[in-house]
Amino acid sequence: MSRKAETPYSQTLGESEMLSPIAWGDTLSGPPVSSGRLLASSPVLVRRWRGVAPDIIQPPIDHHYITLHLGGPKKIRRKGEGREAHNTLDEGCYSVTPAGSAFTWRTEGPVDFAHLYLGPSSFDAIATDFDRDPRQSPLQDALGARDPVIEALVGAAALGSSEHAPLGRLYWDGLLHTLLSRVLHRHSTIGTHSATPTTSLSPRRLQRVVEFMDVNLASDIGLSELSSVACVSESHFSRVFRRATGLAPYAFLMQRRMERAKTLLVETDMPLGEIATACGWRSHSHFSTMFKRAVGSAPGRYRARN
């Protein structure tokens, strides 16, 4: 059981009376094995627990959260919000818990899970772009859902944030935008509507974005800056940019960085560490790894051959 004695929670609590993710985590029978924030424009809290008590009381939380179920198959009973659900969960499936809901959880099997916490307004811009009032498209809870896209994205966010941290804000911004869009369509009423945004990226605006990227290759660029330059919303930008270029913003930025690195390797005597910094990589080793993956040879060998 959790470390603190609990009493039933009111279902009519205001936001100020809900617990934060950190405060709730402090009531569990042990600390998380990992806890951190993704390096996105709007940092997202990610926490993982393993081996805590199988009975967990979850009061109303002031964030939505997605649970990634890990450690192998298990049975979970979840009770709350006027109903009870049972499910046998396989490794890697996920659950969705909307902000403000309260549940008790019991696990039979390995207790191993990661939580991805999302602010209450996370989905507002996406819903608005699809001509839906966010208040009329509430997030719906789910227990042990399967969706290969959501599972892969939550897994990348929950398990790969440390490994891929050098990828920067634009990588995580794109991942989170795709995740939020997918969750909204799978787990809210917006999924029953087929309306799609009609905004496009004109050649002139696209050129401004490309020029901005080129000038700021050394910086940790995020979707907020690029969408501002393009004069479109963040939630629209990735879609219209891919439509205009055939590449996601992060992939396009990596392509520009690689081209700049090739030029500097061939036309200058700059040390590899300085080239890495000038082109936006946080370390020589990360630059070398990414360059070899994209070009097929290490930077030093590429320079020697050209």
Domain ranges of the chain: 15-192, 203-305
Q: Token digits for 215?
A: 């000038």
Task: Give the pLDDT score at 169.
Answer: 87
Number of H helices, E strands in the chain: 11, 10
The SS3 call for residue 281 is: coil
* 193 SS3 class: coil
Q: Which pLDDT value is given to residue 165?
A: 54
**Are 89 and 60 within 8 A, CB to CB?**
no
| Whole-number pLDDT of residue 36 | 87
**145 sits in which H/E element:** strand 142-145
Span 119-152, pLDDT tens digits = 888 888 777 766 666 666 678 999 999 999 999 9
pTM, rounded to two decimals? 0.82
Q: How far apart are CA 171 and CA 192, in angstroms?
A: 29
pLDDT by position in tens, the chain (length 306): 333 333 333 334 455 589 999 999 999 999 999 998 887 777 789 999 999 999 999 999 999 999 999 999 999 999 999 999 999 999 999 999 999 999 999 999 999 999 999 988 888 877 776 666 666 667 899 999 999 999 999 988 887 654 445 678 898 888 888 898 899 889 987 654 444 555 678 999 999 999 999 999 999 999 999 999 999 888 788 889 999 999 999 999 999 999 999 999 999 999 999 999 999 998 889 899 999 999 999 999 999 999
> 15-192 in CATH: which number?
2.60.120.10
Write down the pLDDT at residue 38.
81
Q: What's the rounded Cα separation, in Å, for the pair 149 and 46? A: 18
Q: What gap in Å lies between CA 23 and CA 61, rounded to an integer?
A: 9
Of the options 3.40.50.1100, 3.40.1410.10, 1.10.10.60, 1.10.10.2160, the CATH number for the domain spanning 203-305: 1.10.10.60
Alpha-carbon distance values, 242 to 111, 238, 280 (Å): 40, 6, 21
Closest CA to 221 of 256, 197, 246: 256
Half-sphere exposure of 98 (CA within 13 A, CB side): 17
| Topology alike, domains 15-192 and 203-305 | no
The confidence score (pLDDT) of residue 10 equals 35
Greatest distance between any 2 Cα atoms in the chain: 71
